[in-house]
Structure 1
Amino acid sequence: MAIKEPLTDLPIKTADSGFYRGFSVDVTVVSKIIIGVLVVWCIVWPEWAGEVLGAWNSAILASFAAWYIWVVAFFVIVCLGLSIWPTAGRLNLGLDGEKPEFSNFSWFSMMFGAGIGVGMLTWAVAEPVAHFGSNPETIMGITNGGTADNVRMAYKWSFLHWGLGAWACYAVCGLSLAFFSYRRGLPLTIRSGLTPLFGAKLSGLLGTIVDIVAVVATILGVAQTLGFGVDQFVAGLTRIGIGGLTNAEGAASTFGIIVALLVIMGASTLSALSGVGKGIKWLSNINMVLSIVLLGFFIIFGATFFGLSAMFVGLWDYLIALPQLSFNVFRSDGVDGSEAFKLAQWQGWWPVFYWAWWIAFAPFVGLFLARISRGRTIREFVLGAMIVPSLMCFVWFSWAGGTAIDLELNGGANGVIFDAANGDKIFAMTEFMLAPIAQTLAWGMALLIVVLLMTFLVTSADSAVLIVNTINAAGDEGPKARPHILFWGAALGLVVAGLLISGGTGAIQTAMVIGALPFSFVMVLMCLSLIKAIYNDGRREAAGVATTVPAE
């Protein structure tokens, strides 16, 4: 039986005129309704919203914790497998012979900035510190929290959450979208990644549902990142002398949240209007340079040798434990306070939360990675989008977090860093290091971190707005999307504000875990579709059948 040529045409109905000209009305309007209802619900009835979201979150964690753990392990296996599979690894994510649009430096900068650059400034210090105090080994009595024998455990778990699993979620989406959009000529939207399984049916209702799920997951995933970023941004503004943005407990006030979001979303909307090749590219390059400066400060003036040891020993422990950590699920016995109960609770707070976060973030980062990776091979994509960023995260955690731990253990910090709020820990640490030398230096470093945080937040927000508009416009990134950039910029800011007001970052976390669940099933189907497509392309090549859309 002769093998057929691949599907290279997936028409998606868009409006011919009016405000939604060029947009899929079904995807755009339904997505706006869902997000609008969420915003109104959280702002008008914050207590009710918090209770309902909390109940849903508990049910999902009780029933799907194992699913989240195992599905991310599956994504890692798929990405690594595709990179070493000869038929797949050499394939160009574009037409044969096509060259990349961006330099390696700009490519890495945009990946890191849009991916998890914001979270890095909060969690590179806060997470090793948190696991240094408590982790499964301390719960089981193997190590002692807050002591030197727990340092290795702190890094093993930190590297797990920000390593290969995180970037595999992004890479799965990015690979799928780039493959089907640039080799097949299909729309740059999530539904295109499922064509080997469902074919032309994705032009209709099924494809519409897939894209709506992706838009909602994207908004909630980015809202999680912006929620953490807003807290830290307010803490930074307070550190550099701008008052009135925090409440009596030192947390961001409603006024502080509004001010921060107006600044961030205003700048991100202007950047999004300029497109990927201008505003986002330049912002990404700026925040990469500032990141190198800040990281260099920690490496040279922080706990240099402590961080070096944490990096290599932590990496060894992580890689050795990765197979077991990737599949292990802690089961609760239902007895409050028991060891099994605490272990399951800890896993819900940390790995399950992170896997949901990365999955919710995946349509945004994946589509963005696809957009900036045209012309690269699958093997190059996996190396650049999965392994290199993981190593960058490990370096940050080793020297930023390592400096905090070393200052508390050996440097006389006496709780100054550990007792600070998560978003304020990096500011507390740099002030402790520099204030005795010169208060002006401490202020200058706090200002640098605020600027870096601002560029990361703007890069994430404007990239997300562009990606949502691309999905809504059936994969078209043309200028007709510009009026809707204003709407989604405002909508994203309101989602963050509404969830923060209704329950702080915990409410955002809850909504995000819920929104990630349906998209995790879509991602599994994307993996299966990609494997099927590459296998069939190998058969097509052997039979002399074209595997890419004809070049224009």
Structure 2
Amino acid sequence: MPATPHWLHNKNKETPVSVRPNSPLERWFAGVSPTMAIASIAMVFAFVLFTVTNADLANGLYSGAKAWIERSLGWYYVAVVSGVLFFTCWVGLSRFGNLRLGKDDERPEFSNYSWFAMLFSAAVGTGLLFWSIAEPLMHMQGNPFMEMAGVEAGGVEAAQVALRITMFHWGLHGWAIYIIVGLILAYFTYRRGLPLTVRSALYPILGERIHGPIGHAVDLLAIFSTLFGTATTLGLGVSQMNAGLSYMFGWEVSVGTQLLLIAVTSIVATLSAVSGVGRGILWLSHWNIRLSSVLFLFLLLAGPTVFLLGLYATSIGDYLAHFVPMGLWTDPQPERQWQGWWTIFYWGWWLSWGPFVGMFIARISRGRTVRQVVVGGMLSATLGAFLWIVIMGGTGVHLQLSGVDLASVANNDLTMVLYKTIEGLSVEWATMAMAALATLMIASWFVTSADSATLVICTILSMGNPNPPRSYRVIWGIGLGALAAVLLLAGGLQGLQAATIVAALPFSLVLLLICYCLVKAVHEEERAASMNSLEVLAAPGSR
């Protein structure tokens, strides 16, 4: 009998209720794991109840934990993220890069363009729209790298350092987290036949125990990170949408307006999640790229065209020359808190979104090889993010250097930076049209993150079913918006953001474990393949 890893023939011990339901309870849990469904709802309810009824205490606890992590474990986050980047590159470029995520004769379900559009849309959300201009403007006013290089704030050299830092925070280090999680989950799901859940990646060391309390805890952590990370982004997104509507139409910037925007956005995201990956999510992802291209083309032609074209190549070269030492740098003066406010915050944010984006990448990557996912995903996503930062951030930086005081706008109201940048180009006939387009993009980009998050949560609850029950997609899609609304009313979004960063700490340990499990699994597969080959050669008549 061929030598095969013992876990290849795993049987899922806790399967969702799939028989025809008879009682109301069975109908409620049809298609999902009752244990996970009850535990996830209880977890969310307890968290929201505690945050709403004890807002000051909750925010204090979350912020205090976040501050402790930044102060005491900043070095650990730096080490984990840099280590994950090197590990991801090794996996993609090693002999295991030719392994296909599925059967050896399978081919990708989606085209390269569709795959990239969905990957980028799910992963980026409204983050780049919010920070691509504001972040370099804030870094230009001072940072440790400028101090070490003796660069004065506000000048051309300061702008170059500021763009380098922004690209560093949105570059290879962060994308490596998403890509490696997606790759590992896709490997265990499509090549090993395990459920599409985070717990499956721990099978080489836990075995059948992944179906018990440990497995439930790992998947609940993934749901926690996905739900609360997305809700926090929704809070940031609606504040920027509200600013855009105020800029164009004079709408009041208020909690009431933002609640209305949350409701509309959540409904659209839920409809998209119900339609599935191949329809709503794919369609919206394509339109995200198209709308973004229109805005980029406007900024490129109406703005400093020659400056931006040269800046792209220059900034990539500058990034490549510095990203390794920047990735290993820890602030020798932690009392100034800069690294905690920026780099550690970003690393925690990427880590906290790792389960959600990674699982979605796994969902759309069946049939691709390991190398295609690693090299193709990291290069395309990073270059796409850099193009975004150079065109939008470069335009803002150029206006700042030319005398348009965008830095003061960023210091006073981050949500208005995008609109004031468009206004600063002084193309009167296009200002309102581009502001409307930018606001639509904020909504569209968020919707594609929210519908992806909803689908991921429901996939986990259904123990890996890529097409989970539609009723649960509706429940969690609406629930995601309701959660953001409740926390917005309670003033808890800032504390929620801190809680999301804290959630990155336990997931970082899970990430290290699943990386080890991948190495263990591919070596077992290699040994099994070698023994199979020897048995074939030794069989009668094989010569």
Change (3 A) 1:217 1:470: same
Is residue 500–residue 507 contact of structure 1 (8 Å, CA) maintained in 2? no
Distance in 1, Cα, partners of 2:503 & 2:216: 17
The equivalences for 1:488-499 within 5 A come to 488-499=476-487
Distance in 1, Cα, partners of 2:136 & 2:312: 12
The equivalences for 1:473-488 within 5 A come to 473-479=462-468, 481-488=469-476
Distance in 2, Cα, partners of 1:76 & 1:368: 19
Is residue 5–residue 524 contact of structure 2 (8 Å, CA) maintained in 1? no
Post-superposition shift, 1:312?
2.4
Which of the numbers 457, 470, 491 marks the counterpart of 1:468? Answer: 457
Distance in 2, Cα, partners of 1:499 & 1:359: 22
Change (3 A) 1:518 1:485: same
Which of the numbers 119, 136, 150 marks the counterpart of 2:158? Answer: 150
Change (3 A) 1:511 1:415: closer
Task: Indicate the SS of the match to 2:109.
Answer: coil
Distance in 2, Cα, partners of 1:472 & 1:369: 18
Alignment match, 2:351: 359
Which of the numbers 366, 376, 387 marks the counterpart of 2:368? Answer: 376
Distance in 2, Cα, partners of 1:141 & 1:92: 46
Distance in 2, Cα, partners of 1:167 & 1:415: 28
Which of the numbers 3, 16, 24 marks the counterpart of 2:33? Answer: 24
Distance in 2, Cα, partners of 1:142 & 1:259: 48
Distance in 1, Cα, partners of 2:407 & 2:67: 33
Is residue 138–residue 407 contact of structure 2 (8 Å, CA) maintained in 1? no
- Superposed CA RMSD in Å reads 2.1
The equivalences for 1:16-55 within 5 A come to 16=17, 17-55=26-64
Distance in 2, Cα, partners of 1:58 & 1:30: 29
Is residue 420–residue 428 contact of structure 1 (8 Å, CA) maintained in 2? no
Task: Provide Cα deviations, 1:318-348, integer angstroms capped at 9, x if missing partner.
Answer: 222222222222244xxxxxxx521xx1111
Alignment match, 2:442: 453
Alignment match, 1:57: 66
Task: Indicate the SS of the match to 1:240.
Answer: helix
Post-superposition shift, 1:82?
0.7
Distance in 2, Cα, partners of 1:317 & 1:516: 29
Distance in 2, Cα, partners of 1:442 & 1:366: 37
Q: Which has the higher mean CA deviation after the structures are superposed, 348-357 or 11-20?
A: 11-20
Task: Indicate the SS of the match to 1:18.
Answer: helix
Post-superposition shift, 1:477?
2.9
- What is the letter of the counterpart of residue 455 of structure 1? S
Change (3 A) 1:5 1:80: same
Which of the numbers 211, 219, 244 marks the counterpart of 1:211? Answer: 219
Distance in 1, Cα, partners of 2:74 & 2:257: 35
Q: Which has the higher mean CA deviation after the structures are superposed, 508-517 or 361-370?
A: 508-517
Alignment match, 1:336: none
Post-superposition shift, 1:255?
0.8
Q: Does 1:346 align with 2:306?
A: no
Change (3 A) 1:414 1:236: closer
Alignment match, 2:189: 181
Distance in 1, Cα, partners of 2:491 & 2:304: 36
Change (3 A) 1:396 1:478: closer
The equivalences for 1:64-143 within 5 A come to 64-86=73-95, 88-140=96-148, 142-143=150-151
- What is the letter of the counterpart of residue 382 of structure 1? V
Post-superposition shift, 1:230?
1.6
Alignment match, 1:325: 326
Distance in 2, Cα, partners of 1:174 & 1:473: 18
Is residue 404–residue 424 contact of structure 2 (8 Å, CA) maintained in 1? no
Alignment match, 1:337: none
Question: How many residues in Structure 1 have an aligned counterpart in Structure 2?
Answer: 525
| 5+ long unaligned stretches in structure 1 | 247-252, 333-339, 547-552
Is residue 273–residue 281 contact of structure 2 (8 Å, CA) maintained in 1? yes
Is residue 176–residue 530 contact of structure 1 (8 Å, CA) maintained in 2? yes
Q: Does 1:442 align with 2:431?
A: yes
Change (3 A) 1:217 1:449: same
Post-superposition shift, 1:257?
2.1
Post-superposition shift, 1:397?
0.8
Identity %, equivalent residues: 36
Q: Does 1:398 align with 2:407?
A: no
Is residue 12–residue 474 contact of structure 1 (8 Å, CA) maintained in 2? no
Is residue 296–residue 392 contact of structure 2 (8 Å, CA) maintained in 1? yes
Task: Provide Cα deviations, 1:283-334, integer angstroms capped at 9, x if missing partner.
Answer: 00011111111112222222223323432232222222222222222244xx
Distance in 1, Cα, partners of 2:454 & 2:102: 24
Distance in 1, Cα, partners of 2:392 & 2:483: 31
Change (3 A) 1:198 1:260: same
Change (3 A) 1:53 1:412: closer
Task: Provide Cα deviations, 1:387-439, integer angstroms capped at 9, x if missing partner.
Answer: 2111111111111111111112115457575456222211111122245x33x
Distance in 2, Cα, partners of 1:429 & 1:414: 7
Is residue 100–residue 367 contact of structure 2 (8 Å, CA) maintained in 1? yes
Distance in 2, Cα, partners of 1:40 & 1:254: 20
- What is the letter of the counterpart of residue 472 of structure 1? L
Post-superposition shift, 1:196?
1.4
Change (3 A) 1:414 1:542: closer
Post-superposition shift, 1:386?
1.3
Task: Indicate the SS of the match to 1:297.
Answer: helix
Alignment match, 1:201: 209
Alignment match, 2:274: 273
Normalised by the length of structure 2, the TM-score is 0.92
Q: Which has the higher mean CA deviation after the structures are superposed, 418-427 or 231-240?
A: 418-427
Alignment match, 2:168: 160
Distance in 2, Cα, partners of 1:366 & 1:234: 30
| 5+ long unaligned stretches in structure 2 | 18-25, 535-543
Alignment match, 2:265: 264
